Structure 1
């Protein structure tokens, strides 16, 4: 076996197999899973201008590792002006030396490295010639009257003299009777058409043109045309270029990464018509008037469906699978964002090693006290169902990791806090994401003054961010969470079919780009979306499944097994207009072998155009009729198919239990290992939950695990009739994990404290001292506060301008009772706090609710408390802009605000900073 093949096999075992402890290792029931490199959050790492050097690479990677990051994804990008002498050309020998140094340094630190296979986005560069560049179909129309001839030659009509000539592919003629004829052979070298019309004809000249799109935000050495993703020869040449450039060493990166499909106007490739006829069985040129039309007619919809399916086939075979196969030959993995592409997202995500989704914008959560200023957010709400396309593909294909480009434009620059990030990342967890990548961290050398180099789009997480010294607290929360979310296998009971042919049959436009920003057009209005949303709201967990994924599934012991480590109990087909005959046949076969299937209604038709259309449709209808439903049920061998528009009621009849915790306003996702079931539960409602909850799993022991602190404890539980009941207390904004064990080990473990009934309150709001320790633009003088309060809006200009860290301190007498629990609560933290009690670090408070159990650190008698607060960068950036201090000067887009307009913070109001409201210790 070749060395690269062995390496890839071993690497895949490490990354994709469920994380289980070594047999000889003694694990305690309350222990968290092993913390791996992938359990830690990673980050996209913008290399601005490729202006990197060994000294800064070393110090920055060390800083990242100490802050809790598990790896970096190198993304070369445009650079800062005035530093051109430091720029390195992408893939030059000097650049490759820096890549090699980065990989080795990261390896020494226990970190991983991914890299995008290009600069900026999408794939492209100077190596992409016109033949390999993104292409489009241009159609020029002409008319011929009976007996007439064209008076002018058929030549490509350029918009300017600088525009290259496009290649003529064919000339077609169409008459009112529906006849179509190819006339290319009648064209001479000068473009004259030597053909006399017999009747009136509309002519269409088809040209292969180039979009002219260049790589967006390209780095030095990366400027060039965008790649033709639909051409295998173009993709092969692109991959070969990288193989040759990187052949000098075995660069031990983990994965090549591809960003979302932003190849604008690309809808064609040189071999498209031949590929179409091979795949669809007819000549598309005969039907071009239907492809151009937007009439809501059956023929238009069927032709467009076939066209879009062919585009999908070329993208997935010539780029995605081809690229992944090449990466594997280089002992590398692939990580891909399928969204934005003109294809079946599920199959595209499933064709790579690590599917990646993206959170773009800010979600609304009704959590009291959570800041969400409409002026600081984009008019885009991340949709959890959109995120589930990536995780579904990972689950269906038994790929253990689903990554996410996280926090893209979460808020305006310098105004996003950890408290805002937490529910957003939890929403991604609930959608099946378990491998967080921050967007992002910018490489910034030590000699660049504050705020350092910054990428034009938020979120700006860099070592210069005033929140950075507290970053490790946030990273530990994600690490603990992902250690569980990467353990075992997903535990989703339902599969919901995505009717992609209904999407492809949309009569408007030519391409159908499945983008994050157009979900209102292709997703929200569909029955698939409505049904999936209602099932999740009812307490069912589900994955989406494609026709291709159904084709590779099998029925095993009454379940539907989609791959080695994934199975579900029921396949649900929402209201669907188009379904291939092969899919219906496979569904019936699954039922005959023991699967349960529910159709919301009869699929109306097979998609596309076929030579024997009527006979195929008749066969489809006959196959459906053969199901012979009796009272809505068709028995099929060992299984059954149900026809019902009341899906939830049908699931109950089939014994598929929902999770009742959703009735309390809670959200959840589950994972299963050999001996354990894990629940991740988040309270994103506006209310405190304090009630008995029934879990749809059996357990003798239930352990609550707090990802914020790492603390664990046993909950009182009762097992009855296949369900486990627990008393659950969760404030708005809290999230927890539950570990369900089959054995009763509760007597070996500490109980989780009951925080539902306060037995005493100690108000510590008076007599505090505040000292400023580190920050910009200058350190204000210390303050003495009779009552603790923010350091802003007190008439102190230096404090209003300050971004950094400052410490509140006090001394207090306390009567501690053994056996009691003590919770420190703060009404408002602006924005992150580290707590010390009697000189010992007790933990961080940075998310709603602002609280921390400090029982272990209090003592009877006199105590000291220090609260180190890190605020946002906003106030210091405002100071820079008000004083006309230049800090942003970049090539390309430079630096823009959330509305993509020139950034200016000079008119911002002061952002509150420090501690607000009461500081209390609650006794339980």
Structure 2
């Protein structure tokens, strides 16, 4: 009995030690660490039974939450539609929230249907507004022969807001001389005058992809009264009570042609200090006096920004807080300062659209399946910077929109795209998307036209937890602590606004070639990133509220401090911003100018402000301290002037992460007692080398692919820690560096020298277990090939699961590790060896360490492979089987043409290999 209790105590202590290790390695998994999904409610045709089944399916697969967005419905199901915000719809919302809570899922909700915000509560007077101008000419002694009334069709509610006459070197405001019938009671005493009439008209844009009960005009986002009117409908539906929604969501700003609001002239005069009515000629021109046109339009765009920020974004966020919910906003596409608009909400959200080109060997990227849009990590950093600089925990992303053509997206294609988001600071991925589909709907179920189809009907779904678990492990680390970036880079928004062309400038993810890529700011940021520097972007407003502590820039109470502020080459700078930057240096900050700014933006008091700018710059008495670097010491700090920013950073001993010289990319998080590094190999080469990091301490390696961990091999050279990293192309690793002695004692198992490969020479048995349209017959394979090449008419149209089994002999087991390599897998594989679950190999390089599963002598292996939906969809289109039948846009391909898969080539499917096991010593 005494021996029994001794054994029990030892067992309990080992259990406790194991738990302690686990607790200190991977953060406790919370629902927001898992991937969430944009959850399309087609026609809001939902019911409790299907909602319950679908939510349970999502939860089992590793989804952490759903984001409800109602849209148009499926044809033939009209009787099941539920009007948005009706009592029945609210009942379904509450059922969803309660069921999700029981399952440990979160619920977000779009504050609207389709996009952008709008609906039946938005009457024409509150609808999106545009500037309409009409031009007249009148000569000396003449009366205007026609009334000043809007000529554009369907603009009955357009309101005349200004009438400005230009002539004889004078500008006259004539609005007061226009009577109720539009007659102008004025004529020039001499000369000829051009008259500009300004109307507040309506864009007449309707909500796009609206759900039943959500149809109507788009909201005037620039008008607070209109925003309040819009939100009042939700107040009524919610009975002014919290609904249990974690966060309310707003999609990307796609309000087209909304260039005005009825209060624009009043707000402009208050904020810019002069009457815009006097500059209607410049506001509506693209040529002429370019200097004045640019300045007037810059002032116009700044005013647009303020109206959107104050009247919509802040108003909507405050409204969400009243319901004990957060706000989650996609600011991109807005005609404003993206950094401020992202910062004004609780969860800034970016999006990826299209696919990136990666150098990873074997990663499929067929030309016909790619949109001509490449996601740009610098675009994503606008959202992450807003979160990092204001101390917000989460940065989300609408992810994988049009990653490939429908039904052709593999998990292996998703992985590097998600990692690129992580590297840019995103830590909360939302799949775009998952369509709620009733169980009665025939395969492939209900689908949304722009989604990557993360649906349970997807043939890949049985193995989606491989991708989901990987993302969850990554996000558990990337949500820990605070962002750890040493540089703060000012974004010169006034250079963007100071353009003569057009009116508002919508800063879209699709148009970065126009407004972002050509700028010195972008070129500097990409260069710094490539060379191992970590940074966030700062707006004028952010700098205005920043403080200096111990020489570091503190942008908010909860944000990590920044070592250096960089002002990239820019033409325009706000005088207040320049003075603030100089004051920050005086208080102890290090500021680096790439070039001194040349001018101030805007039109009002221009000579005075230019003089003030010159005076401020003239006080910066720089001296040369090194070739290419000038210095001005001021107060406790200094200002450097250097065209080569990296040289200036080296001068100030601001260290870069040299591991990027190998091609690796990283992002860091600051945690109590240490740091996390998330490191990715997107190069074409395998890497096995000791690489330097800027943090000293004990280094733990953590594999987000399978959860494995161990102490890294390290060495110190010249006072710098170097870590041995062994990463194949396409792989990632997490480094946890702590100053305290780690509870983990086991070392990371590096692979040594490979021995001769063990080939699989036995016949493979292939058995199809699930999928359709029909299960092909069993096969015996002497050689692994795509199952579409087998002698069975059913295989070319089959999408589903095929199970491969065989045996192999291991003569002896004397290597330190054995690695299974599946090589080509189309598209994902779950492996079992000797009845033990090895795991899901869902991404390149399709390898796993299997030494612990092997035994001397005969071994069995089972590999469950799932392929794409593409071949089955192709077969349905060839046979003209009707499966896409939706209202509005119905279903389109990646180029927004009618979808037709009948001309596709058959996609390779199954385990193609070659499969082998490599011993490592």
TM-score above 0.5: yes
* Matching residue within 733, 736, 740 for 1:739: 736
> 1:779, CA displacement in angstroms?
0.1
Alignment of 1:357-506 (within 5 A): 357-506=350-499
State the match for 1:904 in structure 2.
900
SS in 2 for 1:64: helix
Establish whether residue 780 from structure 1 lines up as the match of residue 776 from structure 2. Answer: yes
State the match for 1:246 in structure 2.
238
Q: Deviations for 1:854-908, whole angstroms, at most 9, x for unmatched residues?
A: 1221122211110000100000001111111110000000000001011011111
> 1:816, CA displacement in angstroms?
4.8
State the match for 1:19 in structure 2.
none
Please say if residues 171 and 278 of structure 2, whose CA atoms lie closer than 8 Å, have aligned partners that are also in contact: yes
Q: Deviations for 1:808-861, whole angstroms, at most 9, x for unmatched residues?
A: 001111145356111110110100000011111111111111101112211222
> 1:589, CA displacement in angstroms?
1.3
State the match for 2:845 in structure 1.
849
State the match for 2:655 in structure 1.
657
Distance of 1:26 and 1:367 partners within structure 2:
37
* Matching residue within 790, 794, 797 for 1:798: 794
Alignment of 1:174-323 (within 5 A): 174-175=166-167, 177=169, 179-198=170-189, 199-247=191-239, 250-295=242-287, 297-323=290-316
RMSD: 1.3
State the match for 2:133 in structure 1.
139
State the match for 1:880 in structure 2.
876
Q: Structure 1 pair 756/379, CA: closer, same or farther in 2 (3 Å)?
A: farther
Please say if residues 690 and 714 of structure 2, whose CA atoms lie closer than 8 Å, have aligned partners that are also in contact: no
Distance of 1:652 and 1:29 partners within structure 2:
39
Please say if residues 762 and 808 of structure 2, whose CA atoms lie closer than 8 Å, have aligned partners that are also in contact: no
* Matching residue within 606, 616, 623 for 1:630: 623
SS in 2 for 1:406: strand
Alignment of 1:751-770 (within 5 A): 751-764=747-760, 766-770=762-766
Please say if residues 697 and 722 of structure 1, whose CA atoms lie closer than 8 Å, have aligned partners that are also in contact: no
Please say if residues 830 and 864 of structure 2, whose CA atoms lie closer than 8 Å, have aligned partners that are also in contact: yes
Q: Structure 1 pair 371/900, CA: closer, same or farther in 2 (3 Å)?
A: same
- Stretches of structure 1 that go unaligned for 5 or more consecutive residues are 1-24
State the match for 1:604 in structure 2.
598
* Matching residue within 723, 741, 763 for 1:726: 723
Which range is displaced more, 294-303 or 58-67? 294-303
SS in 1 for 2:555: strand
Please say if residues 158 and 165 of structure 1, whose CA atoms lie closer than 8 Å, have aligned partners that are also in contact: no
SS in 2 for 1:773: strand
Distance of 1:676 and 1:815 partners within structure 2:
46
SS in 2 for 1:416: coil
Normalising to structure 1: TM-score of the pair?
0.95
SS in 1 for 2:31: coil
SS in 2 for 1:238: helix
> 1:531, CA displacement in angstroms?
0.4
Q: Structure 1 pair 451/176, CA: closer, same or farther in 2 (3 Å)?
A: farther
State the match for 1:674 in structure 2.
672
> 1:702, CA displacement in angstroms?
1.3
Distance of 1:698 and 1:736 partners within structure 2:
18
* Matching residue within 830, 833, 856 for 2:826: 830
State the match for 2:71 in structure 1.
77
State the match for 1:14 in structure 2.
none
Q: Deviations for 1:346-397, whole angstroms, at most 9, x for unmatched residues?
A: 0000000000000000100011100000101100000000000000000000
State the match for 1:117 in structure 2.
111
Please say if residues 815 and 919 of structure 2, whose CA atoms lie closer than 8 Å, have aligned partners that are also in contact: no
State the match for 2:35 in structure 1.
41
Distance of 2:44 and 2:447 partners within structure 1:
14
> 1:189, CA displacement in angstroms?
2.2
Q: Deviations for 1:233-263, whole angstroms, at most 9, x for unmatched residues?
A: 1111112221111117531000100000000
Establish whether residue 864 from structure 1 lines up as the match of residue 860 from structure 2. Answer: yes
SS in 2 for 1:563: coil
Please say if residues 487 and 535 of structure 2, whose CA atoms lie closer than 8 Å, have aligned partners that are also in contact: yes
Q: Deviations for 1:258-300, whole angstroms, at most 9, x for unmatched residues?
A: 0000000001011110010011111001011111122372111
> 1:330, CA displacement in angstroms?
1.6
Count of residues paired in the alignment: 894
Q: Structure 1 pair 59/77, CA: closer, same or farther in 2 (3 Å)?
A: same
State the match for 2:568 in structure 1.
574
State the match for 2:10 in structure 1.
none
SS in 2 for 1:640: strand
Please say if residues 762 and 807 of structure 2, whose CA atoms lie closer than 8 Å, have aligned partners that are also in contact: no
SS in 1 for 2:622: coil
> 1:555, CA displacement in angstroms?
1.0
Distance of 1:176 and 1:156 partners within structure 2:
26
State the match for 1:771 in structure 2.
767
Which range is displaced more, 645-654 or 793-802? 793-802
Establish whether residue 810 from structure 1 lines up as the match of residue 806 from structure 2. Answer: yes
SS in 2 for 1:566: coil
Distance of 2:631 and 2:180 partners within structure 1:
66
Q: Deviations for 1:64-96, whole angstroms, at most 9, x for unmatched residues?
A: 000000000000000000000000000000000
Normalising to structure 2: TM-score of the pair?
0.96
> 1:588, CA displacement in angstroms?
1.2
Please say if residues 765 and 918 of structure 1, whose CA atoms lie closer than 8 Å, have aligned partners that are also in contact: no
Distance of 1:189 and 1:888 partners within structure 2:
54
Q: Structure 1 pair 756/898, CA: closer, same or farther in 2 (3 Å)?
A: farther
Distance of 1:918 and 1:28 partners within structure 2:
36
Distance of 1:866 and 1:176 partners within structure 2:
89
SS in 1 for 2:858: strand
State the match for 1:4 in structure 2.
none
> 1:645, CA displacement in angstroms?
0.3
Please say if residues 155 and 202 of structure 2, whose CA atoms lie closer than 8 Å, have aligned partners that are also in contact: no
- Stretches of structure 2 that go unaligned for 5 or more consecutive residues are 1-18, 625-629
State the match for 1:16 in structure 2.
none
Alignment of 1:510-521 (within 5 A): 510-521=503-514
Distance of 1:469 and 1:860 partners within structure 2:
32
Distance of 2:218 and 2:721 partners within structure 1:
55
Distance of 1:361 and 1:169 partners within structure 2:
42
State the match for 1:153 in structure 2.
147
Please say if residues 411 and 458 of structure 1, whose CA atoms lie closer than 8 Å, have aligned partners that are also in contact: no
Distance of 1:239 and 1:485 partners within structure 2:
34
Please say if residues 761 and 808 of structure 2, whose CA atoms lie closer than 8 Å, have aligned partners that are also in contact: no
SS in 2 for 1:598: strand
> 1:715, CA displacement in angstroms?
1.4
SS in 1 for 2:782: strand
> 1:745, CA displacement in angstroms?
3.6
Distance of 1:149 and 1:194 partners within structure 2:
8
Q: Structure 1 pair 765/589, CA: closer, same or farther in 2 (3 Å)?
A: farther
SS in 2 for 1:887: coil
> 1:332, CA displacement in angstroms?
1.1
Distance of 2:811 and 2:210 partners within structure 1:
63
State the match for 1:104 in structure 2.
98
> 1:26, CA displacement in angstroms?
4.5
SS in 1 for 2:523: helix
Please say if residues 589 and 638 of structure 2, whose CA atoms lie closer than 8 Å, have aligned partners that are also in contact: yes
Distance of 1:561 and 1:836 partners within structure 2:
52
Q: Structure 1 pair 562/815, CA: closer, same or farther in 2 (3 Å)?
A: farther
SS in 2 for 1:792: helix
SS in 1 for 2:917: strand
